[in-house]
Structure 1
Amino acid sequence: MYQLEVLSDQDLQQAICLPDEVRQAFVSGQTVIDHCVKYSVLQWEEHCTECAMPACYKTCELYQPRRDGHCRRFINGIVPLHIPQRKSSVVQVDFKQWGALMATSYIGVIAPEQADIIDSKAAVAESVAQRGQWLDRLSIAGRRGIVARMATRYKNHLSQTINPSPYFDAFMIELYSPQAIDLSIVIRATTGKLNQTPFQYRLKKPAGYHQIMIPFIDIAPYVDFQTMHFINIIPNRNEDDQTTPITVIFGFVGFIQQSPQVDNDKVLAVSVNHKPIKILVWDLDNTLWKGVLVEDGESELQLRQGVVEIIKTLDARGIVNSIASKNDHHRVWAHLNTLGIAEYFIFPEIHWQPKSQSIQRIAENFNVAIDTIAFIDDSAFERNEVKAIHPQVRIFKDDDYLRLIDLAAFNPQTSVESGLRRSFYAAQQQRSAVRSGFDGQYFDFIKASHIELSVGLAQLSSIDRVHELVQRTNQMNFSATRYDRDRLTELINDPSVTTLFLTAKDKFGDYGTVGVCIINIQQQRVIDLMFSCRIQSKRVEHAFLGWLLDTAYLSGWKCLQVEYKPTAKNSQSAAVFSDLEFKQISQFQGVMIYSKPTTTKHIGDGLITISAPNITFTDC
């Protein structure tokens, strides 16, 4: 579902002529959607990667109003292309500088019948918007294009108020481009924290038609299925060419589920006296396998006959397997990998603590009721210990394992999602680790991104890129100040002030100019600092402030001071001061002064590579 805002004949005539083989490819692509069990309905709109609306509408030289008064970042908006025998939309997007295709939605899929209802209602809203073009010149409360605005809001309401299933196979991107393709796909929670890692994927393909499938398991660790997300598709540009339009033809872009429906007639009925089992927790020694790992060694252990088939059968029914074992975690997990069954066990508890505690943690990690858990163990002591603490848990002896699949409680009514349930929980397991804060996994992600930050001395020749950024950034603007071109020229020419600009790139793409820093050399103070929201969550601000501390040290400064004016939109930016152990030393007229000594060299985390040739604060 696309926001087809541009409707004039002149705009529609700007559409490129698709080669016959590309048209046929899009027709064939429709069959992929038709064969999906479920898919998403996302409202795709044009957006700006540096959006600071509505303030930027008055200050940004790139602002060009569209029907609803918002900024046009596509040459002709989203232009529909008509392809016979194609049900789903195909549209042309000509990206301008900072243009992004964006949807805001929950992550998941819905049934085709529900999707058809939403599409039908959206089509009515689009028709009303077309007929309301004559009202575009009217302004209500300073807002123009009220009909287009209302249509967009209604379509967003349709796509954002559904309750999609979080089980899907992939994020599908169907597109054609007459030139080589280099796009970044970024999925970020709308309520995320600065240390919340977004999902990022760099899409590089030769010219032509492509169907790209990004697997569920790659995306799920980075999303929260209870929260709406911004989903952005952004062209990667050469820093030296920011103005040439980039044309891409998009077909279906969204989440899909292609798994076949399970035959429910072959499944036994669930007993009305018992809740279905959701999690089966296995002991290992003399239960899953014959022998004791720490006593007999890996070579002497033997899986019980038929136990792997039991595990796989339960998995297919949507019953997830876990582990509660008093054992050496590293040895156990290595052996399970050797056996080829480690992937079937989610949220395992392998340590020397009481198994009742393990069962409790498993219930919390899966977020299930304790009475939907079953536990199987050869030890009467362990069974009784769990039973005493958790009488609701259904407990079985080790030799009961073969009959479990015949019990009513282990035969839930299955659906399309049943076979995907383990993948969902596996992703949740990864997500809980990735999102636990500034931990090893988060740092590993940043380091693996290979971020390269370049620091340059702003000159009149680079004033355009500096001016564009300072007009827009809100969330990571340390002073909330916007500088016009004349003021920037004064700062660049002022010998007592050093103005720096930052560019960044990583394995996901080239971000271009992402930061501006203004330093009063005489006061030894950063009087302004701002970063693009494109590098949010990447610790660029930490790396750059670390570089500033190092440069101040090399320049003989005793301390580095930074001005910060808190606003409603930049509050998260202040976290960097506590992270780097800056101290607030004063406050005047709402501006806080943070300071840190620079008498010793700053030791950073080494996550980001910084290049700043021959820049010191003594000769700037």
Structure 2
Amino acid sequence: MSCNKVKCVVWDLDNTIWDGTIIEDDNVVLNNKVVDIIETLDKRGILQSICSKNDFDLAMNKLKELRLDKYFLYPQINWNPKSEGIKNIAKSINIGVDTLAFVDDQEFELDEVKYSLPEVLLINAKNIKEIPNMPEMNPKFITSDSKNRRLLYQNDIKRNKIEEEFLGTKEDFLKSLDMKFTLSKLEDEDLKRAEELTVRTHQLNATGYTYSYEQLYEMSKSDKYFILMAQLDDRYGTYGKIGLAVIELGENLWTLKLLLMSCRVVSRGVGTIILNYIARLAQKNNVRLLAEFVKTDRNRMMYITYKFGGFKEILSENEKIILEADYSKLNPMPDYIEVIEKEELACIS
């Protein structure tokens, strides 16, 4: 875990966020050092949640009273094993358990999580003050998307609730969102976010490749590469910069070296849309379009995205697969989303 950046910190409550046991005495005392750390992590784009053996209403009311409830996504406050709660948090956020840290004051609870989820970074509450300085808690860049990450996820929670209550088909719901999918050439101001996406995105990353800020800068200035950035917005707000494609440009052949999407947009169908867009660009430029796919333990959905996008497998070597776009099988762009092409794309269109 030492080389992984933490995406979500899961906090215990009693004798961790506050001093005392709330079920025994409602007048618990807030640990002010913890509040500073919670605010610091939030500004760095690290998500946070709660996993506590407690009465849900009692604990949540106290968090609201302390004005801390807004910081925590999908709190797990019940009497179940904490490893179960942590798995639920990872599933709800749609991130791997190996990107979670868990803070608790009880060795027994830390050991229970260690036994069931050895990938989780465990932190004893007595070492709380060390958290902000841990390398796992310090992202290389803090972008506008990362600063707003919690709010972006909270908007997603609202959307999901609206979708659950929506009386109609999936396509009708997507139409009701008034989505706008903006595609633009990677610019210098997006380089930090682009690197962040390659480092943070695992499930919806077709190759698992990561690129540094410097590599992305060099490619963005080269006529041998074209890098596409995608942003998604709807009537409820922005999802942020959520997609990236790196295309190697040959005279008669283009190769998709990287295609990735944020896990937050997995249900919006944008992976197929960006593939469709790139394939049409390649067809317009009279070149073949290949795509690399490298199998990992998490990214099978991206292979399915390629197949739905009209790509066929032409070569397989160990974990690496080469696919080619079949232009005769390109689907029309869906009518539930408006695709906006920025002016700077005209040079390749």
Q: Tell me which interval the TM-score lies in, with the shorter structure as reference length.
A: 0.5 to 0.7
Alignment of 1:145-156 (within 5 A): 145-147=122-124
Any residues of structure 2 matched to 1:29-428 within 5 Å, and which? 62=44, 72-73=46-47, 88-90=61-63, 91-93=66-68, 101-103=73-75, 118=79, 129-130=104-105, 145-147=122-124, 183-186=154-157, 199-201=160-162, 219=164
User: What does the per-residue CA deviation read over 1:425-464, in whole Å, with 9 as the maximum and x for residues that have no partner?
Assistant: xxxxx7xxx7xxxxxx222222222221111111222211
Partner residue in 2 for 1:474 = 202
1:538 equivalent among 268, 272, 279: 268
User: Do structure 1's residue 500 and structure 2's residue 228 form an aligned pair?
Assistant: yes
Alpha carbons of 1:458 and 1:144: their partners in 2 closer, same or farther (altered >3 Å)?
closer
Paired with 1:449 and 1:530, the residues of 2 have a C-alpha distance of 22
Matched position secondary structure for 1:556: coil
Residue 12 of structure 1 and its aligned partner are, at CA, apart by 5.9
- Contact 1:549-1:602 at 8 Å conserved across structures: no
Aligned-partner SS, 1:101: coil
Please give the secondary structure, in 2, of the residue aligned with 1:546. helix
Q: Distance in 1 between matches of 2:277 and 2:34?
A: 50
Answer yes or no: is the 8 Å Cα contact 1:564–1:592 preserved in 2: yes
Q: Determine the C-alpha separation between the residues in 2 that align with 1:143 and 1:549.
A: 40
Matched, 1:575 2:276: no
Q: Is the 8 A contact 2:226 2:248 kept in 1?
A: yes
Report the CA distance between 1:602 and its aligned residue.
5.4
- SS of the residue corresponding to residue 295 of structure 2 reads coil
Displacement after TM superposition at 1:565 (Å): 1.1
More helix per residue = 2
Query: What's the TM-score, normalizing by structure 1?
Result: 0.36
Residue 73 of structure 2 aligns with an amino acid whose one-letter code is: L
Shift of 1:508: 3.0
1:11 matched to 2:30? The reply is no
Q: Is the 8 A contact 2:310 2:325 kept in 1?
A: yes
Change (3 A) 1:182 1:587: closer
Cα deviations by residue, 1:256-302 (Å, 9 ceiling, x for unpaired): xxxxxxxxxxxxxxxxxxxxxxxxxxxxxxxxxxxxxxxxxxxxxxx
User: Amino acid of the residue matched to residue 553 of structure 1?
Assistant: Q
- Counterpart code for 1:468: E
Distance across 2 between alignment mates of 1:146 and 1:495: 47
With the length of structure 2 as denominator, give the TM-score of the two structures: 0.60
Which residue of structure 2 aligns with residue 447 of structure 1? Answer: 175
Structure 2 CA distance for aligned equivalents of residues 494 and 94 of structure 1:
47
CA offsets 1:601-620 (integer angstroms, 9 cap, x no match): 85233332111123558648
| Larger RCO, structure (CA 8 Å, separation 6 or more) | 2
Q: Structure 2: any 5+ residue segments left out of the alignment?
A: 1-9, 19-29, 51-57, 83-102, 127-151
**Structure 2 Cα separation of the partners of residues 566 and 13 of structure 1:** 41
1:484, distance to aligned residue in structure 2 (A): 2.1
Q: What's the offset of the Cα at 1:599? A: 7.4
Matches within 5 A, 1:541-620: 541-557=271-287, 559-598=288-327, 603-614=332-343, 616=345, 619=348
Q: CA deviation at 1:504?
A: 0.6
Deviation for aligned residue 1:590: 2.1
Question: Does the CA-based 8 Å contact 1:550-1:602 persist in structure 2?
Answer: no
Contact 2:185 2:345 in 1 (8 A): no
Retained in 2: the 8 A contact 1:553–1:599? no
Please give the alpha-carbon distance, in whole angstroms, between the structure 2 residues aligned to 1:599 and 1:617. Answer: 24
Give the percent of matched residue pairs that are identical in Structure 1 and Structure 2. 18
Q: Which amino acid aligns with 1:101?
A: L
Partner of 1:462: 190
* 8 Å CA contact retained: 2:310, 2:330: no
**Cα separation, partners in 2 of 1:142 and 1:602, compared to 1, 3 Å:** closer
Matched, 1:528 2:258: yes
1:496–1:104 CA distance, 2 compared to 1 (3 A): farther
- Confirm whether residue 515 of structure 1 aligns to residue 249 of structure 2: no
Equivalent position of 2:149 in the other structure: none
Give the 3-state SS of the residue equivalent to 1:481 in structure 2: coil
Tell me what 2:214 maps to.
486
Quick one: which amino acid aligns to residue 186 of structure 1?
Answer: I
Q: CA shift at 1:14, angstroms?
A: 5.6
Write the letter of the residue equivalent to 2:259.
L
Structure 1 residues 537-564: Cα deviation after superposition (integer angstroms, max 9, x where no partner): 110111111111222233233x322111
| Residues paired across the two proteins, number | 262
| Contact map agreement 2:208 2:296 (CA 8 A) in 1 | yes
Deviations 1:325-349 (A, max 9, x none): xxxxxxxxxxxxxxxxxxxxxxxxx
**Contact 1:540–1:608 (CA<8 Å) still a contact in 2?**
no
Separation in structure 2 between the aligned mates of residue 612 and residue 521 of structure 1, nearest angstrom: 20
CA contact (8 A) 1:458 1:501 kept: yes
How far apart in 1 are the matches of 2:157 and 2:179? 16
Does the Cα contact within 8 Å between 2:186 and 2:229 map onto a contact in 1? yes
Contact 2:12-2:104 at 8 Å conserved across structures:
no
Aligned AA (2:306):
F
Amino acid aligned to 1:542: T
